[in-house]
Chain A
């Protein structure tokens, strides 16, 4: 039986994918234990910092897809630095020191944080370090300032990586270069603003090395969400504790909720009608519609149309500045004397 052209093409495509994955997996080597924290290895959990050093082989092994992403990231990193050098020749800055190793030592003289900078940039008297990241475009699309890197658990380690380079090389200014569709996004950072965070990372790395040397482990992390996404989960078995829902029993609040529920449908209908009527009759200063008298009035409305770059200067983000409460009625009030039972 001969295969159709489409079947042959499908077979070839499957062969390519399978071979590609196999080649990547063949190159996968079990990570070796080491005695220091990697600059890009910031973790929320102290215990995980020790596991990363002591038992890296127990973590979730990288899949073929992840390995392919790493390769692509490395390739793009090199390409971005080459492009940066080309741009530097025009814009009069110099790009140098690619893949330069650095070490951060603690007060006892031990090497506690180790890393490699992607590039250094010299512009007149200003010398900076740059870190290139090729993250998922969905992540990058929401990052506009260096501070935004701290918002996601997936990008936070990258922020600490660059801060470590600056701290280790005693330089004040750095750049996080985010590769993305189009021109890479370049986020400047001044170390002084994050000095406290960086010192905290350094002291945590010191404690982790202490535990490693003593053969002990720090306490478990308290956040169950952090544990659930940890690659050591299952090998590390922490106790988990969720706070649980707040049980609100105040009659006043319960009555308000019930009344709100009763008005919900009519309230939504009112808002919709009100909106439709006012949109349709905008500009009607006086009018009669059946039994209704309509009276409108123009008044001054002042707006400030600012360019985006000016607006950005005054942008202030408060992670707990906005609160959305969704109310859903899921059960009817229970009356035991009505013979309710399971």
Chain B
């Protein structure tokens, strides 16, 4: 055996074994080998390093969520639309299978045999119970249930043993999926988060549609482009309050497309709007028409036959007086001081209710304050009525 060379010798041709080993820095850091700060006190004791730890955790969680979305297909998601028009996605059981390995999901304490429940009409359901743990976050959920019935779409056309088997297996898949959705936060994902993760995929077009998208027939109608579903929800023309969007789920075709939420100060407001049907090949109408209430003058119309547009943001520096009307465009509607206070309060509540990113919201407020000729750093209270309204509409569009 040859003699080990002296490692202290300075010789470019002699390399010690230690030097040939891979850099220790490149070895994987195992969580068991390091102490992980967990409590706020432990974080605080680390000083700046504590902030770094939080940042690293935030980054990892963000990467995990986005990676989870990238591992799925649009068909794995089910979309729901709220009455306010916000769209959320629910990861179906098929998609959960793709994501589970990433999160290190562990499912344990599963009921040995699924429970079979028979209803009076002889339809039946299987229920499986179990608990789950995520090895990455350390979170645990206990005694969750997975259930499927023989009347579910997946089994309703089957009979006999085939139906029995399908319902039973789906119940277990539902438990597995439920645990993953709970632990990975994939139960109610904003559609925008899917689009942000990969804008090239057709998330909305290819995903299954659930509540808020109307019946299959209505969706067909939508596809055929008979009604315009893309326009933003307008404010009530009577009380200027928010309106319900009934375009997708109205059962009666003669029912109004938008109906007042009665939050604009008048609890008896009966404001309603109907959309014009698109005519063959014509572009969708830019604005909506309103059916005038009895004994009330028709809405103001422009020369093109449309209702007056909201005031445009002034290009030129606006007047110093924050309550002054902007130059150009139609004058803002006149309200009493009491009405205006109520209106401002409603709009501010709605803007805050959008739960925007705090920094982005402040940037937007600053932008409007600047347009009003005021100093940056103010709050919504400093905004002019028309700027507030315009900002509200812009946020609602987004």
Which residues of A are interface residues toward B (Cβ below 8 A)? 30, 57, 60-61, 63, 224, 228, 233-235, 237-250, 252-253, 328, 330-331, 333-342
Contact = CB atoms under 8 A, between A and B. Distances in A.
A238 B110 contact: yes
B106 A234 contact: no
Contact of A334 (B55, B110, B114, B359): B55
A224 B130 CA distance: 16
A233 B101 CA distance: 18
Given A234-B172, A243-B104, A330 B114 contact: no
A239 B64 CA distance: 23
Chain B, interface residues (CB within 8 Å), range = 35 or more
Interface stretch (B22-30, B275-283, B295-303, B315-323): B22-30
Interface stretch (B160-168, B369-377, B389-397): B160-168
B107 A243 contact: no
A60 B165 contact: yes
Nearest to B175: A237
B357 interface: yes
Nearest to A339: B359
A336 B58 contact: yes
Contacts of B135: 242-244
Q: Is the interface of A mostly helix, strand, loop or mixed?
A: loop
B128 A237 contact: yes
B170 A234 contact: yes
Contact of A224 (B64, B100, B359): B100
Contacts of A63: 162
Contact of A233 (B105, B108, B172): B172
Nearest to A220: B110
Given A240-B176, A250-B26, A330 B67 contact: yes
Nearest to B64: A245
A328 B67 CA distance: 9
A244 B136 contact: yes
A341 B31 CA distance: 27
A247 B110 contact: no
B15 interface: no
Q: Is the interface of B mostly helix, strand, loop or mixed?
A: helix
B270 interface: no
B138 to A, nearest CB: 11
Interface in B161-204: 161-162, 165, 168-173, 176, 197
Interface string B138-170: 000000000000000000000001100100111
A30 B160 CA distance: 12
B266 interface: no
A194 to B, nearest CB: 31
B46 interface: no
A146 B219 CA distance: 53
Given A61-B161, A239-B108, 10 more contacts: A234-B114, A234-B173, A235-B168, A237-B112, A237-B130, A239-B106, A240-B106, A244-B134, A247-B136, A249-B56
A336 B55 CA distance: 6
Contact of B97 (A228, A234, A246, A342): A228
A334 B62 contact: yes
A241 B70 CA distance: 22
B54 A336 contact: yes
Contacts of B168: 234-235
A245 B102 contact: yes
B154 to A, nearest CB: 13
A252 B64 CA distance: 21
Interface in B47-64: 51, 54-56, 58-60, 62-64
Contacts of A246: 28
Nearest to A245: B102
B113 interface: yes
B313 interface: no
Given A237-B111, A240-B107, A331 B59 contact: yes
A242 B23 CA distance: 30
A246 B102 CA distance: 9
Nearest to A328: B70
B137 to A, nearest CB: 10
Given A330-B66, A331-B66, A336-B54, A252 B26 contact: yes
B353 interface: no
A241 B58 contact: no
B140 to A, nearest CB: 13
B114 A237 contact: yes
B359 A340 contact: yes
29 contacts: A30-B161, A224-B101, A234-B171, A237-B114, A238-B110, A239-B108, A240-B105, A240-B107, A240-B176, A241-B106, A242-B100, A242-B101, A243-B101, A244-B101, A244-B105, A244-B135, A245-B64, A245-B104, A249-B56, A250-B26, A250-B29, A330-B63, A330-B66, A330-B67, A330-B70, A331-B63, A331-B66, A338-B359, A341-B358
